């Protein structure tokens, strides 16, 4: 049975779903998705503790087990290349991640994969940027995607803190 818990963060409320053996979803929502128990389990509690430590500046690498769900081979390769090779405070371009993943996914396709990432923050899609700027981001509160992406990258030291 799936379990759910949430955490208020500087970029909105983050929700975490577990199937009891892995984290299966990270979302920007405070209520449990339909069919998911609103009570957390031990794995949700650990993920929330790690997220709290991340936002407090005390954690750089998540180590909770994740399950990306049903994905194509290429999508899984791209997400795992990001998860395993782009660390805290680093960024990579869409094209760079395409090349690093060893797939034939074009740079534009990388953006679609990032938008469908089931476990953002843990698989750090916010670290994937365009060659000429931030690129897009669908995380955070509605309409706040790029503000959220900028905040996360500034928090990690990948971008200088904005003066405004």
pLDDT confidence of residue 40? 78
Band (pLDDT 50/70/90 cuts) for residue 159 is confident
Q: What pLDDT does residue 164 have?
A: 56
Domains of the chain: 3-55 (no CATH), 73-155 (1.10.10.10)
64-89 tens-digit pLDDT: 999 999 999 999 999 999 999 999 99
59's CB contacts (< 8 A; 6+ apart) are 50, 53
Q: CA nearest 91: which of 160, 163, 14?
A: 160
Q: What is the pLDDT of residues 133-158, one digit of tens each?
A: 899 999 999 999 999 999 999 999 99
Q: What is the pLDDT of residue 163?
A: 60
**18-49 residue pLDDT tens:** 999 999 999 998 888 888 888 879 999 999 99
Q: Specify the pLDDT at position 35.
A: 87
pLDDT in tens, 92-130: 999 999 999 999 999 999 999 999 999 999 999 999 999
> What are the catalytic residues?
125
Nearest alpha-carbon partner for 49 in 32, 62, 67, 66:
62
Alpha helical stretches, state H, the chain: 42-55, 73-85, 94-101, 107-115, 145-155
Q: What is the 3-state secondary structure (H, E, C) of 66-109?
A: ECCCCCCHHHHHHHHHHHHHCCCCCCEEHHHHHHHHCCCCCHHH
Q: Across the beta sheet with 3-9, what order do the strands follow?
A: 3-9, 12-18, 23-27
Residue 109's pLDDT is 95
């Amino acid at each position: 049975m799936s379990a759910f818990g949430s955490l208020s963060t500087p970029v909105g409320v983050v929700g975490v779903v577990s199937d009891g053996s892995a984290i299966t979803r990270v979302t920007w929502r405070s209520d449990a998705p339909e069919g998911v128990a609103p009570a957390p389990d031990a794995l949700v509690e650990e993920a929330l503790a790690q997220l709290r430590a991340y936002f407090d500046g005390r954690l750089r690498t998540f180590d909770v087990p994740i399950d990306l769900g049903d994905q194509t081979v290429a999508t899984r390769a791209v997400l795992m290349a990001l998860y395993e090779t782009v660390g805290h405070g680093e960024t990579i371009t869409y094209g760079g991640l395409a090349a690093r993943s060893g797939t034939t996914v074009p740079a534009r396709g990388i953006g679609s994969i990032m938008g469908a990432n089931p476990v953002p923050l843990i698989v750090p899609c916010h670290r994937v940027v365009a060659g000429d700027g931030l690129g897009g981001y669908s995380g955070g509160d509605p309409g706040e995607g790029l503000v959220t992406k900028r905040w996360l990258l500034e928090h990690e030291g990948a971008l200088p803190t904005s003066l405004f």
